[in-house]
């Protein structure tokens, strides 16, 4: 982290004011530079580095507001605190809107200025920590990167780019661990909605009694325990993409309601009479054969046909073995990166062994396998000789715990704690940092009993 600097740029047309401020600030341990108007201040900013700027609003050459707009447009300068004379509160508010951090009204006591500066520095510190954490979280290879070599996947990815541009729903099918969620995220990212929310819901993971209010929201008092009205996940995805994982698990009675979302773009919160408009693009995934579910009347055919307008089927890994080497190398790189060690290489023999496996758990199983092999390999080649390839799902070996699930829970807890720490317990900001929904964060905080 950059060293804390205590440089303050004062922008004011009154020499007396500048002088007074200089005395106060120097006493408070700050180094001061003076500018007599916005134009001169801009000059200083172009050549120096000032985190803190104290700026008068009314000045002859370039006034405070104009100055703010200039630095916002050029993306220079640090935190700006405006100084407004009596009666110009409205202007001060305008300044806050234009990007100023704070304002103090003239005349002020020395303490007030120092306090405002300290607050701004606190904010700067948080900003820097956030940026650092964000960098840390996304360090190394993106965990949403789709790695492949096979022509099957090449065609699939071409299809993804084409389909991403349309609004129609997409049904993503494939065995467990083939990368359905990854493809859904890619579809979202490549679409025009890429910067809007991506909300993922696992229809199989929410208790059936709760799923309607989770998805559609509820009004206050809609049922016992509904103390507040609450928008559902579908509304949370408004403008963006809704990813319904394990769509085959969606209870039959909710299926017509989802169809309504798809056809009219309407939802109704539990306990409300009037529908609300939503604009979501729906992606769904299933590892089950939905047609079979339709045949057995467990899934409505009208919904199936609507969802499956476009179907993307991800072939199992054993049908695209060319992907195995690049995927193995990718996972080795990710883990090495994460652990700050150099990446061991794969011998041709090891590659051959990996290529021959059946990988019923597909890419996820391969990733888990590599993770375990990395634990055993201390040298510069990946040791897989001693690895029980046929009993890979076994969790405990030599009394040590290799559960990836437990390991990722540990990691999640750690990151959530960090995110809460740097945001001073602000859950909305923490969720943003962690790139998960607030709802998911709250759920995890509860589940993991994290106290903030
Ligand atoms: N082509 C790929 N490149 C890189 N990583 C991949 C690829 N395919 C899958 N993965 C990784 O494998 C794991 C499983 O992928 P994902 O969760 O998308 O599978 P899924 O089909 O949704 O599985 P499930 O049906 O069990 O929910 C994830 O960690 C994902 O990042
Ligand atoms: Mg999945």
Q: Three-state SS across 285-305?
A: EECCCHHHHHHCCCCCHHHHH
Q: Which atom of ligand 1 is nearest to 146's Cα?
A: 3
* Separation of CA 320 and ligand 2 centre (Å): 19
Q: Tell whether the model's pLDDT for residue 44 goes beyond 60.
A: yes
Amino acid 46: pLDDT: 80
* Separation of CA 427 and ligand 1 centre (Å): 28
Report whether 157 contacts 148 (CB < 8 A).
yes
* Separation of CA 134 and ligand 2 centre (Å): 24
Cβ–ligand 1 distance for 180 under 6 Å, the answer: yes
Q: Containing H/E element for 353? A: helix 348-356
- The percent of the chain in helix, strand and coil, each rounded to the nearest 5, is 50, 15, 35
pLDDT mean over 274-290 = 94
Q: Which atom of ligand 1 is nearest to 147's Cα?
A: 3
Ligand that comes closest to the CA of residue 370 = 1
DSSP 312: E
* Separation of CA 176 and ligand 2 centre (Å): 7
Burial environment of residue 53 by CB neighbours within 10 A (0 to 12, 13 to 18, 19 or more): buried
Q: What is the pLDDT of residues 404-447, one digit of tens each?
A: 887 888 888 888 988 888 888 889 889 988 988 898 899 888 88
Minimum mean pLDDT among 111-115, 162-166, 260-264, 408-412: which range? 408-412
List of residues 6+ apart from 211 with CB closer than 8 A: 203, 250, 251, 254
Cβ–ligand 1 distance for 177 under 6 Å, the answer: yes
Q: Which atom of ligand 1 is nearest to 144's Cα?
A: 31
Q: Tell whether the model's pLDDT for residue 251 goes beyond 60.
A: yes
Number of helices (H) and strands (E), helices first, in the chain?
Answer: 18, 16
Ligand that comes closest to the CA of residue 147 = 1
* Separation of CA 370 and ligand 1 centre (Å): 14
Degrees, nearest 5: CA angle 56-57-63: 105
Amino acid 396: pLDDT: 36
Q: Which of 229, 319, 224 is nearest to 268 (CA)?
A: 229
Q: What is the pLDDT of residues 183-223, one digit of tens each?
A: 999 999 999 998 889 999 999 888 877 889 999 999 888 88
Q: Mind listing the domains of the chain with CATH numbers? A: 7-136 (3.40.50.2300), 151-315 (3.40.50.300), 318-402 (1.10.8.60), 406-447 (1.10.10)
Q: Containing H/E element for 245? A: strand 241-245
């Amino acid at each position: 982290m950059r060293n804390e600097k205590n440089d303050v740029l004062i922008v004011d047309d009154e020499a007396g004011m500048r002088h007074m401020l200089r005395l106060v600030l120097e006493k408070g341990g700050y180094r001061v530079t003076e500018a007599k108007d916005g134009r001169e201040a801009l000059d200083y900013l172009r050549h120096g580095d000032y985190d803190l700027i104290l700026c008068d609003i009314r000045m002859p050459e370039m006034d405070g507001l104009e100055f703010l707009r200039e630095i916002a447009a050029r993306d220079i300068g640090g935190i700006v605190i405006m100084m407004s004379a009596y009666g110009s509160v409205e202007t001060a508010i305008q300044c806050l809107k234009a990007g100023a951090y704070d304002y103090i009204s003239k005349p002020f006591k020395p303490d007030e200025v120092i306090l405002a500066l300290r607050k701004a520095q606190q904010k700067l510190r948080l900003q820097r920590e956030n940026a650092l954490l964000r960098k840390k979280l996304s360090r190394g290879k993106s965990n949403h990167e789709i790695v492949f070599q096979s022509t099957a996947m090449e065609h699939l990815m071409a299809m993804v780019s084409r389909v991403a541009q349309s609004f129609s729903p997409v049904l993503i099918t494939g065995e467990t661990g083939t990368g359905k969620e990854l493809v859904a995220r890619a579809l979202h990212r490549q679409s025009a909605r890429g910067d809007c929310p991506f909300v993922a819901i696992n229809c199989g993971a929410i208790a059936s009694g709760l799923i309607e209010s989770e998805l559609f929201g509820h009004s206050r008092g809609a049922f016992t325990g509904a103390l507040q009205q609450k928008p559902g996940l579908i509304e949370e995805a408004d403008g963006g993409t809704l990813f319904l994982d394990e769509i085959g698990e969606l209870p039959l009675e909710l299926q017509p309601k989802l169809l309504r979302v798809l056809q009219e773009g309407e939802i109704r919160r539990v306990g409300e009479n009037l529908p609300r408009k939503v604009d979501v693009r729906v992606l769904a995934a299933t590892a089950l054969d939905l047609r079979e579910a339709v045949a057995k009347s467990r899934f409505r055919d009208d919904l199936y046909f609507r969802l499956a307008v476009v179907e993307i089927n991800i072939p199992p890994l054993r049908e695209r073995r060319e992907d195995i080497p690049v995927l193995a190398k990718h996972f080795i790189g990710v883990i090495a990166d994460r652990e700050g060690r150099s990446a061991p290489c794969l011998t041709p023999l090891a590659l051959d062994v990996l290529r021959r496996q059946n990988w019923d758990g597909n890419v996820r199983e391969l990733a888990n396998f590599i993770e375990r092999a990395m634990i055993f390999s201390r040298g510069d080649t990946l040791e897989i000789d001693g690895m029980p390839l046929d009993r890979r799902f076994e969790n405990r070996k030599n009394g040590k715990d290799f559960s990836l699930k437990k390991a990722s829970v540990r990691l999640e807890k750690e990151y959530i704690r960090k995110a809460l720490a740097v945001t001073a317990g602000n859950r909305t900001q923490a969720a943003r940092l962690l790139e998960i929904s607030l709802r998911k964060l709250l759920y995890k905080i509860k589940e993991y009993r994290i106290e903030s």
